[in-house]
Every structure is written in C-alpha cells, then in structure tokens.
Amino acid sequence: MERRHFIKRAGAAVALAGVGGGVLAACSPPASNQENSQTSETQETSPSMQNNEVIAHYVLFWLNDGLSEQEVNDFTGFFEELKTIPGIKSLHYGRAAATHQRDVVDNSFTYNLLVYFDSMDEINVYETHPIHLAAIEKYSKFWNKVVVHDSVLKQAVV
C-alpha cells in the first residue's frame, strides 16, 4: 500500500473512531548504530543497503494541552509498543531539547520519534502492521497534531 493511501486511511479511521478529524499517525522505535555490522546476506536482500542508504521515519507529536505530567510520560508506551514491529533497524524517541532559541529551531513539539529501516519494503510492512494500527488507536487520544517526514538517507562513513 502506498504511504499516502495509508495515511489517508489511518486518518479516516481515527476520525471514525471519534478521536478527531485530520489526525495522522505514524510511529516507530529508536534507531541503533548497526550500519557498519551488515552481513553480505543482509546486503544481498536489502537493495537500499547496497547503496549505503537507509529509510528514516521521523515523526513529531504535539500532545493535547491539559494532560498531566504522568499522562505525558505514559505516552512513551506508544513507542515501546511500536518497537516490537518486525523490520525496524533501530528506534529512538524523546522530548524536545532545551536548545538555544533561534529562528530556525522549532521545539514546540512534545515528543519525536526516529525509526530506521533498511528498505521500503520494511517501512511498508511497518505502516500497515497490526501492532502499529492498534497503537495508533490506543494512543491517538493523547495528540492533537502529528507530522511525519520520511527520507532516504545516504550513510556517511566517519
């Protein structure tokens, strides 16, 4: 299923569930630094890795006003559920950092999620996986805005 169709379907499902219209969701677990430990078998089955590329799934969440600090902290259960989905190379999540304010910095979000995949096939499985869809249904009541950025990243060897 193409990503745009999935996002439209997930947004419609959330609206039908009474959670609110226009809410989009896509999340994944944190990433680990295993890029240099690829076996030849993995490289053979993962075309993007042959080109030193990974798929990065970056999601920003703005949680609802009025949540208690405990509810905000409990939202991390969403990410913990997502990290069990097969095909995830690594998953990271966290709160906005208290970096210096500058015109180009937007720390208005509550949580961010960064998930790495070796191929488009793996992210396609992730976005329609029953664990992902169930986690969205369970936790979408906590957020009022979600923004997703997916990128094909070249790996730079340092």
Question: What is the full DSSP assignment across 17-86?
Answer: TTS-TT------PPP-S-GGG--HHHHHH-HHHHTTEEEEEEEEEEEPTT--HHHHHHTHHHHHHHTTST
The whole-angstrom separation of Cα 150 and Cα 136 is 18
Look at residue 143 and tell me if it is in a domain: yes
Look at residue 39 and tell me if it is in a domain: yes
CB 62 within 8 A of CB 107: no
Q: What is the pLDDT along the chain (158 residues), one digit of tens a residue?
A: 455 444 444 444 433 333 333 333 344 333 444 433 333 344 444 454 456 889 999 999 999 999 999 999 999 999 999 999 999 999 999 999 999 999 999 999 999 999 999 999 999 999 999 999 999 999 999 999 999 999 999 977 78
What range defines the domain where residue 41 resides? 3-97+107-154
Look at residue 60 and tell me if it is in a domain: yes
Q: Per the confidence metrics, is the pTM higher than 0.75?
A: no
The CATH number for 74's domain is 3.30.70.100
The label of the residue with tokens 């193409």 reads 2
Look at residue 102 and tell me if it is in a domain: no
Pairing of strands 143-154, 88-95: unpaired
List the beta bridge partners of residue 146: 61
Look at residue 147 and tell me if it is in a domain: yes
Domain count for the chain, please give it: 1
